[in-house]
Amino acid sequence: MSTNAIAALGLGVVGLGRAFMLTLPSILADKRIRLAGAVDPRVEAREEFASRFSAPAYETLSEMLNNSAVELVYVASPHQLHREHALAALAAGRHVLIEKPVALSLDDSRAIINAADHNNRHVAVGPSHSFDPQIAMALEIIKSGKYGALRMIRANYDTDFMYRPRRAEELTTKTGGGVIFSQAVHHIDIVRLLAGGKTRRVTALTGNWDKARPSEGAYMALLEFENGVTANLTYSGYAHYDGDESAGWMGELGQRKDPSEYGAARRKLRTVKNPEEETALKAMRGFGLGELPRDPDGNEHFGELMLSLDHADIRIGPEKIRIYGDEAVTTLPVEPLAAGRRHVMDAIWQMVRENHLPVQNARWGHATLEVCHAILKSAQGGNWQPLKEQVAVPGYPIENK
Amino acid sequence: MSTNAIAALGLGVVGLGRAFMLTLPSILADKRIRLAGAVDPRVEAREEFASRFSAPAYETLSEMLNNSAVELVYVASPHQLHREHALAALAAGRHVLIEKPVALSLDDSRAIINAADHNNRHVAVGPSHSFDPQIAMALEIIKSGKYGALRMIRANYDTDFMYRPRRAEELTTKTGGGVIFSQAVHHIDIVRLLAGGKTRRVTALTGNWDKARPSEGAYMALLEFENGVTANLTYSGYAHYDGDESAGWMGELGQRKDPSEYGAARRKLRTVKNPEEETALKAMRGFGLGELPRDPDGNEHFGELMLSLDHADIRIGPEKIRIYGDEAVTTLPVEPLAAGRRHVMDAIWQMVRENHLPVQNARWGHATLEVCHAILKSAQGGNWQPLKEQVAVPGYPIENK
């Protein structure tokens, strides 16, 4: 039976905020997926959703779960609500796509794993930049063995993350604020995917430099994997330098940037007088108030990424992969996806229609979350943290040394 | 009394190898310094030195120390001989310039400190890339306080260090081989200088990936300083990617590179049949056999270097410093030094003639060596290593938080 002959997958979204906004274009571009419902506390978001997509919008998730057209629930609510929303959807027999991080605590992510098992439903965790097409290309190059063993990964990204408009909980670590749960989670997903998935131990230093926005805004982390691969992550969300410059001014979400807009985030934030105004500014970036992101110019990415293998260094960018080999340099173009998050749509389609669980499933997301918590613990306590609940990338070469 | 009225400083060099070759142009370009003697076991090097510089060349250091024209001994011998040569020179009442690392063991560097104190002579440790003019400029910017506190340093460099011709001991860690003693020492000197000097603790992972050249060829290290500054160092000496590309193809020693010479080090090494041939190839890079380095096109450097301060990120290159501030980006040109290692010549002149000890003195070199050993210990044992013999940069802001 061809794909076209199967009915489009009914997706119901919980949370019409910024995360949904960023994924919406990829949903709309994909004929395999249709918006079947939405949940949001904001009436203007519900009205906009209902009128634009001719689909029902609800005030509560339990209402949406009575709608049998919703086959998969996309949990795009604030981090601290992921567990509650995922468990409700799974208990109601739905498959689930959960925004990263899968949850805030490891207890929460374990509960999601158990609920998926118990209800015999699937969970994918995404979007994350581990779905970016250049990462999949790099993984295939590594797995081919053509350049010998992967040895070391260097990843760094400089952004203005801490100066984008935030709700109060996004600036409080215990409610999932700061860059570890929102940004390190991308870095960890990427390097785990490229290194085979099983992190042995991690240590980190975090930076919490701005008393007005008191959560982790920067980190430097070393990871060692069970197969001996090592990785070094550096991230500043306080940055003035824009890490997208090194990606040819391609923005994280695939829109080409105008360098003349230097310092825009800090300038805009200075117009805000109090936390209420900032929360309102953040809401303006959500569905029903903010403008949809403009069409991407290319692939998404998460900053600089360099792999060291025995017989090549590989620099991974959103537009090209440069392979510096023993003899020569080869450049592989990375074809831009028509819809930036097409690979996430592929994953949920295959999960629901073909019973194929993606690499980035609940156990994967739990393992990535374990690394996030280990980073925080290491930065507080000063020691390397062993990891115990890591999962492997299927088909990854077992012996890498 | 003006500088010109004081007699030129008589410099006697021990070891006419690669290190001397690289410093020689800066010695010759400096009217304040004159070559007063040399020591080397190779007769062809001695003959070349004597005929070219009209100065005596000796088979042993004790002979040269009978020459009263030698006021300062430049210890440019292999690492494992630094202690013996420095102690002999100090005992004979000479000031000393020692190539980095100051010595191999901390016992050795302590012995050098004690001998300098006992004989009331001065020791400088260099050249190292902490003498590069852009580093001095960056330190002045930090000390000015104009951009708030320094928070984080990211430094990385990719080179073909492990595939340059080597003597056997340069590929054996216990005799000072590998990248920790030869290359990390630059990184550590640079970040210690910029961060105030007093490292609190360090952890690292090292890579030893090529069984044919069995020493550390790569490292990733996290450093935390007593004032809270953090630093992240990444280095691969196995690299295929040339880190000088990010410096506008300016080489480490200030000569502009031709990108078409890609892979030259590995190609040349493949022509070598055995360790004896490799040792001979290495000797060809020393004085009397190899060609002098061509005149520099600009300043030396040691790879990518990014500083994060409260109110700016600062990217430091050999030709320009880019300051990404709160409002705008400022570019400061770094004037090329006529002689690449002029600042080292300044340091020894001031040390001998003006009794002014440079920052990079024996205690400084000892503290940097302490970090080198802590990196090796951490990489073997897996823990963070506390540091106990660190020294501060004079005049550095005491409170940085």
Buried b (16+ CB within 10 A) or exposed e, B205-241: bbbbbeeebebbbbbbbbbbbbbbbbbbbbbbbbbbb
B324: chain A residues, CB-CB within 8 Å: 239-242, 262
Tens digits of residue pLDDT in B51-107: 999 999 999 999 999 999 999 999 999 999 999 999 999 999 999 999 999 999 999
Determine phi and psi for A149, rounding to 5 degrees: -75, 145
Q: CB contacts < 8 Å between A and B, how many?
A: 122
A236: chain B residues, CB-CB within 8 Å: 152, 308, 313
Whether residue A310 and residue B209 make contact (CB cut-off 8 A), yes or no, is: yes
pLDDT at B381: 82
Low-confidence ranges of chain A (pLDDT < 70): 1-5, 398-401
Query: B273 vs B92, which has greater pLDDT?
Result: B92
The amino acid occupying position A16 is L
Whether residue A240 and residue B312 make contact (CB cut-off 8 A), yes or no, is: yes
B315: chain A residues, CB-CB within 8 Å: 241
Residue of B152, B234, B312 with shortest CB distance to A232: B234
pLDDT at A288: 80
- Whether B206 has a pLDDT exceeding 70, the answer reads yes
- Whether B323 has a pLDDT exceeding 60, the answer reads yes
Please tell me chain B's helix, strand, coil percentages from 3-state DSSP, rounded to the nearest 5.
40, 20, 40
pLDDT at B113: 98
Minimal CA separation from B248 to chain A, in Å: 14
Report the distance separating Cα A50 and Cα A33, nearest Å: 17
| Token duo for residue B248 | 């506008």
Confidence grade of residue B399 (pLDDT, cut at 50, 70, 90): low
Q: Where are the domains of chain A?
A: 3-128+341-360, 130-339+369-386
Confidence grade of residue B1 (pLDDT, cut at 50, 70, 90): very low
- Whether B400 has a pLDDT exceeding 60, the answer reads no
Q: What's the residue count for chain A?
A: 401
Whether residue B222 and residue A239 make contact (CB cut-off 8 A), yes or no, is: no
Q: Do domains B3-128+341-360 and B130-339+369-386 have the same CATH topology?
A: no
| Token duo for residue B340 | 């690449």
Pairing of strands B57-58, B33-39: parallel
Task: Mutation target for A interface from B141, B200, B234: give the one with most A CBs within 10 A.
Answer: B234
Superfamily designation of domain A3-128+341-360 = NAD(P)-binding Rossmann-like Domain (3.40.50.720)
Whether residue A236 and residue B313 make contact (CB cut-off 8 A), yes or no, is: yes
Whether residue B236 and residue A313 make contact (CB cut-off 8 A), yes or no, is: yes
Query: Which range has the worst mean pLDDT, B37-51, B219-233, B268-282, B374-388?
Result: B268-282
Q: What is the DSSP letter of B296?
A: P
Whether residue B222 and residue A205 make contact (CB cut-off 8 A), yes or no, is: yes
- Whether B378 has a pLDDT exceeding 80, the answer reads yes
Residue of A315, A326, A328 with shortest CB distance to B241: A315
Are B324 and B312 contacting, i.e. CB atoms less than 8 angstroms apart? Answer: yes
Task: Mutation target for A interface from B160, B162, B241: give the one with most A CBs within 10 A.
Answer: B241
Residue of A149, A203, A241 with shortest CB distance to B203: A203
- Whether B4 has a pLDDT exceeding 60, the answer reads no
Tens digits of residue pLDDT in B122-175: 999 999 999 999 999 999 999 999 999 999 999 999 999 999 999 888 898 888
Minimal CA separation from B172 to chain A, in Å: 20
Question: Is the complex ipTM higher than 0.90?
Answer: yes
A263: chain B residues, CB-CB within 8 Å: 326-328
The chain-wide mean pLDDT, for chain B, equals 94
Q: Pick the residue from chain B with its C-alpha nearest to A208.
A: B151
Report the distance separating Cα A364 and Cα B273, nearest Å: 48
The CATH number that domain A130-339+369-386 falls under is: 3.30.360.10
* Cβ burial, residue B72 (10 Å; 0-12/13-18/19+): buried
Task: Tell me which residue has tokens 């003959």.
Answer: B47
A152: chain B residues, CB-CB within 8 Å: 207, 218, 220, 234, 236
Judged by phi (left if over 0) then psi (alpha if -120 to 50, else beta), residue B149 lies in beta
Residue of B158, B236, B313 with shortest CB distance to A239: B313
How many CA atoms lie within 13 Å of A280's alpha carbon, on the beta-carbon side?
A: 7
SS3 for A348? helix
Whether residue B262 and residue A315 make contact (CB cut-off 8 A), yes or no, is: no
Minimal CA separation from B383 to chain A, in Å: 7
What dihedral do alpha carbons B41, B47, B53, B58 form, nearest 10°?
40
Give the residue from B344, B341, B363, B352 showing the smallest Cα distance to B72. Answer: B352
pLDDT at B167: 87
Whether residue A152 and residue B218 make contact (CB cut-off 8 A), yes or no, is: yes
